[in-house]
Structure 1
Amino acid sequence: MAMARISSGLAYPDRFYAAATYAGFGGDFPYSSAVISKFSNDVALLLYALYQQATVGPCNVPKPRGWSPVEQGKWTSWNGLGNMASIEAMRLFVKILEEEDPGWYSRVSDFTSDPVVDVEMNHNHQTELPSKNVVNVPEMKTIPTENGNHVETQDKDVLVDGVGYVGVYDQWVAPAVSGPRPKPRYEHAAAVIDDKMYIFGGNHNGRYLNDLQTLDLRNWTWSKVEVKANPEAPLTVTSCAGHSLIPWEGNKLLSIAGHSKDPSEVVNVKAFDLQTYTWSTMKTYGKPPISRGGQSVTLVGSTLVIFGGQDGNRTLLNDLHILDLETMTWDEIDTLGVSPSPRSDHAAAVHAERYLLIFGGGTHATCFNDLHVLDLKTMEWSRPSQQGEIPSPRAGHAGVTIGESWFIVGGGDNKSGVSETVVLNMSTLSWSVVTTVEGRVPLASEGPSLVLSSYNGEDILVSFGGYNGRYNNEVNLLKPSHKSTLQATRFGTPALDSGSGAQNATNGTRDVELEFETAQEAKIREISMDNNESQTNKANEVSERSIAALKAEKEELESALSNEKSQSLQLKQELLEAESKNTDLYKELQSVRGQLAAEQSRCFKLEVDVAELRQKLQTMDTLQKELEILQRQKAASEEAYAKQKQSSGGVWGWLAGTPPPIEKP
């Protein structure tokens, strides 16, 4: 979604003077060899011009007559700035220095503008650095608001108590960070564990990233996490964007879904172990969702609720899946009511561990500002009435919850970035605006990340990155006041609570609201006339009964949950046993198949032998017949010979004088 380019905020004069001193500027004509040695000639000339514009003003000196490339270059650069304001020149000086030397501030970490260190700036802008044992407080940049004013986070607004934190409420400020900044990006994922914000993946210039970066929220230092190879399960982490990052078990980060160049067919769950610094793919059971990005993943107890997104074919989705993190089993949920229309890049939150709220998101051409609520107990969708200042349609926004308050930052509508930071009271479903920045700053971006941190018991919202015509890698902070978390309450009556469904809010009308308000006023007048002691006793009795009922319901739910977990574990064990048995049966089947193949081969050989024997048998039958014929012929010949011998024997006997035998009568 294309958006206009947004300029960054202003820096403090003290930061400019520290930057100028670090860069080597000083004296009446600041262009020393120290400056040239640190930067290229063009950068050095530009820094010189900005320094002169910030400290002296517009160039009013005549053009040098003598031909000196250095003098001509300095005059030309300074004169080219025209009537640029001094504060703008300071801002550009610091910005260019940060681009050329990102770690400059960390190398002068002793510098601070906090009054407790008594840093003095003389008229020649020479910086007196404090001693090394002073706590370094992160300096804040101003973020311009919609009316043109700036958040003055000066010395009086910054407090020191071991770590620095913002001293103004309901305004965005940009802390000074040190260390190598991550590459600018959007559609990345972020999570906080042990006062460290982890950034994983994202999109930069159309390329997906797979680096893991961390920002230490105690000293505002960036560093890259060096991932180690997992010897047990080698894994090449795929570059991705539009995924979700969930903290789990205090030492793991779960990366779920996301777009990639070579997507898998189903959603994978990858885990990063913060103790071994290794990635691994977690084995899941059941039927996982199809691969997607731009979905919402919400942690509810020990389960993850996944809704919507966009698959690899750019098909928008509105299906609902649940992953039990204890059994790692997927379950696709059939819901009641009217589901939200298919969408991606929406925001989701959970209220009272029972209601899933879906806000905004978009299709390929349309953005939404509708609010949908899913009762996780009845699995029924509803679309309740929103109250207060309903936000404009948007997609690509980010949100976090603090108690009953749901803060939402950024997003866009295909034309421009959203400039206001809004908050929803999830009990009354009332919207209000916390603060509004100018439309052309990095906070008005699509695809930023937003996490919740805490300093000295106070909540801090931390935003990073985003895209608004350019990719950015800025960090911004906001400390919400009690006013911002409570002001939405006055706009409406409770619509969501732990004892009633979201559907109650769906059919509310103005007449019902007026009737309710009238009844409430009458009830207040009645209570005010009662005795304070009686009121207190009744309230205590009601409170005790409510607590007892809630405890009983909690115990019942915990018992049911325990039974479900036990059954799930039993089913998992049975599944493992079935898989083991199936493996054995498969091996046995393979063995039987081998034996059958051998028998088939032997049978074929026997058939060949039988065929040969049959052929020989037929030949023997023929020979037998021929033998019988020959034997009959031989017998006939012998008989004929005998007869012939007898008939011719009398003649030869007579000739020989042997008389023939006398026949007896």
Structure 2
Amino acid sequence: MSRGLVWSSLKLKSKVDAGKGKENGAPEVLPATSDHSMVKWGNKLLLLDGNSKANSDSMIVRFIDPETHACGVIETSGEAPVSRGGHSVTLVDPVACNFSEVFCIIFLCLDRQTPPAPRFEHTAAINGDRYLLIFGGCSHSIFFNDLHVLDLQTMEWSQPEVQGDLVTPRAGHSGVTIGENWYIVGGGDNKNGCPETLVLNMSKLAWAALASVKERDPLASEGLSVCSVLINGERYLVAFGGYNGKYNNEVFAMRLKPRDASRPKIFQSPAAAAASNSIGQDLASEIDALKEEKKVLELSLTEVRAENSRLAEKIDEVNGTHAELSKELHSVQGQRVAERSRCFKLEAQIAELQKMLESLQSVENEVQLLRRQKSTLEQEIERNAAQRQGSGGVWRWIAG
């Protein structure tokens, strides 16, 4: 898991003598290079030879000043060694010593315990002035990601269990130690570059990824170099060169976060080795348990994803129904407005009719009165008629 550190490119300024340009046969200031060596010398970084398209017959020493961003070629005296690549260099105060010129054979009792398989293009580091650590590298057919430790007191090899992030096999990488931390940059397996910048806590034997770049980035190439410098009181890693299908001459720097230093642990004695194996077994069982838990979680995740898919379908269906209901609601609301307008008109008509009915009631009352008067009049007429008939009969009787 990346810790959030970032590499940044340094823009360098060439420092060339006025009378020694390319036309005078002077070497290129900073050509694209791989398989070189880099060592800190004072406030400068020295680059010793390596492979490039601008190879020369003799070794060329170049420099980079990380504070001023200047670079150039250092003029050396004496007979220069022949040009080479893949060599190593260390600083023997105050002289830089090229170990391609020094042949030292040390018999390390390699029959004790299990030495690492034969390899090249690996990295090595010293921890606590006692332990020699070997990481990665390759044979002619195999790339390694293993870690081997040689106890320089007992002259015994061991391959301790390591913790932390997974580390891919690589060769052609570069490393530098700062305190108990061993920083690894670049490398590859002839197919892909290694994009992670790694750090190994040599006391805890734990790997961690600090940063990551793209696989075709110069920092993910083979044959690059890395060194540690102080710039304005802050610790930086500075990387240069490498080959990933083409030679690179870019310089990159990464500021490290300050960390608390801790004392190195002695982990290669027999008792410590047994303890390490016991811890390794416990870790293996814990890893198995975590794998089982991971399977259960993955199964649960699959079920949750399926349920989410079903819910998404239901949500789509509900959304479709909601859209149809919304359309129907708008239609009903329109009809409601029309009906409300019609109701208002009907209420107005009813009010008019009620007024008319009120006037009709008074007419009805007058009609009833007239009917009663008519009935009374008719009764009087009938009585009068009857009286007249009775009166005429008497007179007729008298007259007869």
1:363 aligns with 2:139: yes
SS in 2 for 1:443: helix
Which of 192, 204, 227 aligns to 1:416? It is 192
Instruction: Provide the residue aligned with 2:241 in structure 1.
Output: 465
Instruction: Provide the residue aligned with 2:20 in structure 1.
Output: none
In 1, the alpha carbon distance for the partners of 2:55 and 2:207 equals: 36
Instruction: Provide the residue aligned with 2:109 in structure 1.
Output: 334
Which of 226, 250, 254 aligns to 1:478? It is 254
Which of 249, 256, 269 aligns to 2:99? It is 256
Q: In the TM superposition, what is the alpha-carbon distance from 1:186 to its structure 2 partner?
A: 0.3
Instruction: Provide the residue aligned with 2:126 in structure 1.
Output: 350
Q: Answer yes or no: is the 8 Å Cα contact 1:385–1:508 preserved in 2.
A: no
Report the AA paired with residue 253 of structure 1.
A
Q: Answer yes or no: is the 8 Å Cα contact 2:4–2:210 preserved in 1.
A: no
Q: In the TM superposition, what is the alpha-carbon distance from 1:500 to its structure 2 partner?
A: 5.8
Q: In the TM superposition, what is the alpha-carbon distance from 1:513 to its structure 2 partner?
A: 5.6
Q: Percent identity?
A: 38
1:244 aligns with 2:84: no
Instruction: Provide the residue aligned with 1:442 in structure 2.
Output: 218
In 2, the alpha carbon distance for the partners of 1:511 and 1:385 equals: 9
Q: In the TM superposition, what is the alpha-carbon distance from 1:197 to its structure 2 partner?
A: 0.3
Instruction: Provide the residue aligned with 1:186 in structure 2.
Output: 34
1:433 aligns with 2:209: yes
Instruction: Provide the residue aligned with 1:210 in structure 2.
Output: 59
Q: Give CA deviations for 1:157-178 in whole Å, capped at 9, x if unaligned.
A: xxxxxxxxxxx97210012110
SS in 2 for 1:508: helix
SS in 1 for 2:63: strand
Q: In the TM superposition, what is the alpha-carbon distance from 1:442 to its structure 2 partner?
A: 0.7
Report the AA paired with residue 184 of structure 2.
I
The number of residue pairs the alignment matches comes to 268
What is the correspondence of 1:274-423 to structure 2 with a 5 Å cutoff?
288-289=103-104, 321=105, 331-335=106-110, 336-423=112-199
Q: In the TM superposition, what is the alpha-carbon distance from 1:338 to its structure 2 partner?
A: 1.1
In 2, the alpha carbon distance for the partners of 1:198 and 1:395 equals: 23
SS in 2 for 1:453: strand
Q: In the TM superposition, what is the alpha-carbon distance from 1:236 to its structure 2 partner?
A: 4.1
What is the correspondence of 1:419-568 to structure 2 with a 5 Å cutoff?
419-482=195-258, 497-498=265-266, 501=269, 503-504=273-274, 506-509=276-279, 512=282
Q: In the TM superposition, what is the alpha-carbon distance from 1:365 to its structure 2 partner?
A: 2.1
Q: Answer yes or no: is the 8 Å Cα contact 1:169–1:481 preserved in 2.
A: no
In 2, the alpha carbon distance for the partners of 1:462 and 1:432 equals: 19
Instruction: Provide the residue aligned with 1:176 in structure 2.
Output: 11
Report the AA paired with residue 7 of structure 2.
W
Q: In the TM superposition, what is the alpha-carbon distance from 1:507 to its structure 2 partner?
A: 1.5
1:197 aligns with 2:45: yes
Instruction: Provide the residue aligned with 2:306 in structure 1.
Output: none
Q: In the TM superposition, what is the alpha-carbon distance from 1:510 to its structure 2 partner?
A: 5.4
Q: Answer yes or no: is the 8 Å Cα contact 1:382–1:506 preserved in 2.
A: no
In 2, the alpha carbon distance for the partners of 1:515 and 1:362 equals: 30
Structure 2 CA distance for partners of 1:236 and 1:192, relative to 1, 3 Å: closer
Q: Give CA deviations for 1:399-454 in whole Å, capped at 9, x if unaligned.
A: 11111111100000110111010111111111111011111211111000101111
Structure 2 CA distance for partners of 1:513 and 1:342, relative to 1, 3 Å: closer
Ranked by relative contact order (alpha carbons within 8 Å, sequence separation 6 or more), the top structure is: 2
Q: Answer yes or no: is the 8 Å Cα contact 1:384–1:505 preserved in 2.
A: no
In 1, the alpha carbon distance for the partners of 2:144 and 2:281 equals: 28
SS in 1 for 2:60: strand
Unpaired runs of 5+ residues, structure 1, are 1-145, 147-167, 230-234, 258-267, 270-287, 290-320, 322-330, 517-665
Structure 2 CA distance for partners of 1:505 and 1:213, relative to 1, 3 Å: farther
In 1, the alpha carbon distance for the partners of 2:192 and 2:64 equals: 29
What is the correspondence of 1:624-663 to structure 2 with a 5 Å cutoff?
none
Q: In the TM superposition, what is the alpha-carbon distance from 1:210 to its structure 2 partner?
A: 1.5
In 1, the alpha carbon distance for the partners of 2:209 and 2:43 equals: 28
Q: Answer yes or no: is the 8 Å Cα contact 2:199–2:210 preserved in 1.
A: yes
Q: In the TM superposition, what is the alpha-carbon distance from 1:207 to its structure 2 partner?
A: 4.7
In 2, the alpha carbon distance for the partners of 1:236 and 1:466 equals: 24
Q: In the TM superposition, what is the alpha-carbon distance from 1:515 to its structure 2 partner?
A: 12
Q: Answer yes or no: is the 8 Å Cα contact 2:59–2:80 preserved in 1.
A: no
Unpaired runs of 5+ residues, structure 2, are 16-28, 287-400
Q: Answer yes or no: is the 8 Å Cα contact 1:410–1:421 preserved in 2.
A: yes
Report the AA paired with residue 81 of structure 2.
V
Report the AA paired with residue 175 of structure 1.
L
Q: In the TM superposition, what is the alpha-carbon distance from 1:505 to its structure 2 partner?
A: 5.8
SS in 2 for 1:507: helix
Q: Give CA deviations for 1:79-114 in whole Å, capped at 9, x if unaligned.
A: xxxxxxxxxxxxxxxxxxxxxxxxxxxxxxxxxxxx
SS in 1 for 2:132: strand
Which of 61, 64, 70 aligns to 1:221? It is 70
SS in 1 for 2:228: strand
Q: Answer yes or no: is the 8 Å Cα contact 1:383–1:506 preserved in 2.
A: no
Report the AA paired with residue 376 of structure 1.
L
In 2, the alpha carbon distance for the partners of 1:509 and 1:215 equals: 45
SS in 2 for 1:332: coil
CA RMSD in angstroms, aligned pairs only: 2.8
Structure 2 CA distance for partners of 1:222 and 1:334, relative to 1, 3 Å: same
Q: Answer yes or no: is the 8 Å Cα contact 1:169–1:478 preserved in 2.
A: no
Q: Answer yes or no: is the 8 Å Cα contact 1:395–1:412 preserved in 2.
A: yes
SS in 1 for 2:273: helix
SS in 2 for 1:214: strand
Report the AA paired with residue 427 of structure 1.
S
Q: Give CA deviations for 1:233-290 in whole Å, capped at 9, x if unaligned.
A: xx341111111111111x2100112xxxxxxxxxx23xxxxxxxxxxxxxxxxxx45x
Q: Give CA deviations for 1:497-523 in whole Å, capped at 9, x if unaligned.
A: 14763624651345646999xxxxxxx
The structure whose Rg is larger is 2
